[in-house]
Amino acid sequence: MTNQKEHSIFSLAVIVAALGYFVDIYDLLLFTIVREPSIVGVGIDKADTAAMIAASTKIINWQMVGLLIGGILWGTIGDKKGRLSVLFGSILLYSVANFVTGFVQTVDHYAYARFVAGLGLAGELGAGITLVSELLPKNKRGVGTSLVAGIGLFGAVFAYFTFKLTNDWRLCYKIGGGLGIGLLLLRVSVAESGMFKTVKETKVSRGNFFMFFSSGNRFKKYVLAILIGLPTWYVIGILVNLSNRFATDFYGENKVDSGRAIMFAYAAIATGDIAVGLISQYFKSRKKALYLFYAFTIVGLLIFFSPLNNSDTAMYLICAWLGFSTGFWAIFVTMGAEQFGTNLRATAATTIPNMVRGALPLINMMFLGLFQKSWGWGLTKSGIVTGVVVMVITLVAAYFTEETFHKDLNYVEGEEVFP
């Protein structure tokens, strides 16, 4: 392996990766922000709570399944063809899908369009984090990837204000498509990872998704890397996304806007993601920073379901706190990238966060299907039990996860060499 040029955390690659994630988050979270008006816009009666929740769950589940499948697709391409191939190809796909979403007329069409968008969006973060991790020295990569995530997550705030200014959910999707095409032009000047170029010249197996299952140690690392990220989408996909419905359960009549709750949560997540990188740097440990943010999350969950959550202002503040406390996305994805060699790194970094996103339908199944439909539990009790299950799984996974702060990334996985 050859040494490569040392890059700054403010290099073009970091800036473009951050802007890419900004557009990614804009598009990814736009549905949760325009959820109610857009579902009404495709023919669902707002007064029919069951129909609204069913339609919302269907659309976001299709988007998340798209992310799950796309993660495998783009991760493989990233290790076989290069990190930049993913950054160019994925953005074209989700830009087109966003334009199409602006014209949907039924819930089914809406769900299918978000599935295709999910396929495209799946490649953005993993490829960007992989590229930045490989370009920056190990003493800077945690801060660099946190900046990517922190800046990028403000895309949700931008999406919220775009909708408030336009009051047109269809136009918001079309704007997202335009942002993607603009980003594509910026990407032209970004250089490929030197580590990937070196590995590409060898005969080592690259981008083989099944290698995660061919070794017990690799499989364990892969599963643990996924499980440590579960609280993020439980908090956003259920608690914040349905904050207005929970508010009705907690204190009756309210004017909570779930889109506004998403905006507050993501502004706080962005702040948390920058902070977690600095905290990780201070501790010289990814895991210690992760444990601290898990503790913040548990406190936030206790307050969310407590009598303190008794007004619209309290709900917004608690959603912001939960957002900050789950602002460990950057460290979680960075740890996923750091767990594996250069020939599998893009596949790992792209599939791991999308496996977490793709786990939301399973969490929804637990929350809506098993508890509410089968056992007849209410919204609040279902939310509490789902949260307990998610946090227990995550804490156990974190305990067994490898510390990667000081790990050198210039290596490959496995012994597979083809003639």
Average of per-residue pLDDT across 79-102: 82
**Distance (Å, rounded) from C-alpha 116 to C-alpha 126?**
18
Q: What is the mean pLDDT of the chain?
A: 84
What does pTM read for this prediction? 0.78
Q: What is the residue whose two structure tokens read 């949760």?
A: 32
Structure tokens that stand for 174 in this block: 């079309």
pLDDT score, position 418? 34
Res 1 pLDDT > 50: no
**Distance (Å, rounded) from C-alpha 284 to C-alpha 286?**
7
Please indicate whether residue 82 or residue 302 has the higher confidence score (pLDDT): 302
Q: Which amino acid is at 107?
A: V
**What is the pLDDT confidence band of residue 187, given thresholds at 50, 70 and 90?**
low
pLDDT tens across 258-285, in order? 889 988 998 899 899 889 888 988 898 9
Domains, the chain, in order of start with CATH, read 12-400 (1.20.1250.20)
From first CA to last CA, the distance across the chain in angstroms is: 20
DSSP 8-state class, residue 359: T
pLDDT tens across 321-374, in order? 999 999 998 788 888 888 888 788 878 888 888 888 878 888 988 887 766 665
Least confident of 115-129, 131-145, 162-176, 182-196: 182-196
Least confident of 91-95, 156-160, 287-291, 358-362: 358-362
